[in-house]
Amino acid sequence: ANLGSGCRITATTFETEADHSSRFVGSAAAVAGLRAAGARVAHGVDATELAGTLPNYAQGPFDRIIFQFPQHPERRKINKHRELLRLFFTNAVEQLGAHGEILVSLCKGQGGTAAEAAEKRGKDTWQVQDAAAEAGLILRSVQPCPVAPLAALGYERTGFRGQGLRGSNAEVYQDKAFNSDGSLTHIFCRESSGAVAAFPLHWSHDISFWTLEAFREEDFHHVVTEACGVGVEPVLTLLDQYVSPEGRRARTYRIAVCADKRAISRSSWQRLCESMRQRMAAVGAAPRQGGEGRHEEEQPRREERPASEASCGGEGRS
């Protein structure tokens, strides 16, 4: 049994073997020890392009994929970190076994889930849950990262970079460990596993439309439910009703969902909302801003528009 556990382990580095050996003291000895214990070691592996950079002998499927404290080289650009996570999840899920899980450990405050000790605005976090949902993954649980037990097994945190690094010294890495206090390990699985999200994403969308004589709220609710699909139970709230001087009637609803069993990211929620709009005509609802092929006179004039505007996209929180 490899490493005495019965598991087959593949360890990877982003750097080539030569670069990794020159950058980290003890690299060669660690690699030799892993290989002697039966583990596979692969260098030059890009987490955002696993299929193309993992050697044939190291390809999945894997029962567990671990990404420990990832960070984009352009560390001050939060959008780069989000993109790194999004690309990683998209690639990792292709290497994951049917019942496997993906673990991502992040420093305090980076993940942006409700498990954080202190709440931060979504725009100030890496939005790890949204990135994973884009790949069809659900956040099954969040646990404190076991830094101390890992350290007892020989794990070292290096690569701390101080403030003010610019230009020539931007690639300077120190042996000093970065601060891991409050760090969390996020555990994801496929939505098809039947797991319930530990901290479900909540999305909402306000939609305003003219109602025709054939409109019935029950039919509208059915259309919304059908657009959302299996595993999502939308809640409709009537926010406003409006009658124009010409007698045209309009309504504004808020559609809210709790994604506890489905992986619904911000972008996929926006696509679901667009699907709802495309189905509305069948139940006697004419969108305030008509779709392709509608006549101009069918659109509300500026002075006729319903009191509440339709929002663009949704708002999410974890």
pLDDT, tens digit, 9 for 90 and up, residues 236-257? 999 999 999 999 999 999 999 9
Look at 173-182, 253-262, 296-305 and tell me which has the smallest mean pLDDT: 296-305
CATH no. for 45-190? 3.40.50
Res. 6 pLDDT band, cuts 50 70 90: low
pLDDT of residue 298: 28
pLDDT of residue 137: 97
Instruction: Report the distance separating Cα 212 and Cα 248, nearest Å.
Output: 8
pLDDT at 154: 79
Q: What is the pLDDT of residue 4?
A: 60
Give me the pLDDT at residue 3, please. Answer: 56
pLDDT at residue number 159: 59
Over pLDDT 90: what percentage of the chain? 66
CATH architecture of the domain 201-287 equals: 2-Layer Sandwich (3.30)
Token pair for 62: 């894997």
| pLDDT at residue number 240 | 95
Of 93-102, 117-126, 160-169, 268-277, the poorest mean pLDDT is in 160-169
Tell me, what's the pLDDT at 157? 74
Question: Bridge-partner residues for 204, per DSSP?
Answer: 256, 315
Distance (Å, rounded) from C-alpha 1 to C-alpha 269?
45
Exposed (0-12), middle (13-18) or buried (19+): which is 144, by Cβ within 10 Å?
middle
Which helix (H) or strand (E) is 131 found in, with range? helix 128-133
Q: In this structure, how many other beta carbons lie within 10 angstroms of the beta carbon of residue 202?
A: 16
Give the residue-averaged pLDDT of 9-26.
91
For the chain, give every domain's residue range.
45-190, 201-287
At residue 39, does pLDDT exceed 70? yes
- Report the pLDDT averaged over residues 73-94: 95
Q: 26 pLDDT band (50/70/90 cuts)?
A: confident
Summarize pLDDT for 135-191 with one digit per residue, the tens: 999 999 999 999 989 888 878 776 555 444 445 544 545 456 678 899 999 999 999
Amino acid at 207: I
For residues 222-238, average pLDDT: 94
Q: Are 178 and 107 in contact (CB under 8 A)?
A: yes
Q: What value does the mean pLDDT of the chain take?
A: 84
Q: pLDDT at position 5, please?
A: 64
Q: Coil, helix or strand for 104?
A: strand
Which one, of 82, 78, 8, 68, lies nearest residue 38 by Cα? 8
Q: Which of 114, 160, 119 is nearest to 139 (CA)?
A: 114
Helix (H) or strand (E) holding 31: helix 27-36
For the segment 61-88, the average pLDDT, to the nearest whole number, is 94
Residue 64 is predicted with a pLDDT of 96
Ranking 34-48, 81-95, 276-290 by mean pLDDT, the lowest is: 276-290
Q: What is the pLDDT of residue 83?
A: 97
**Res 41 pLDDT > 70:** yes
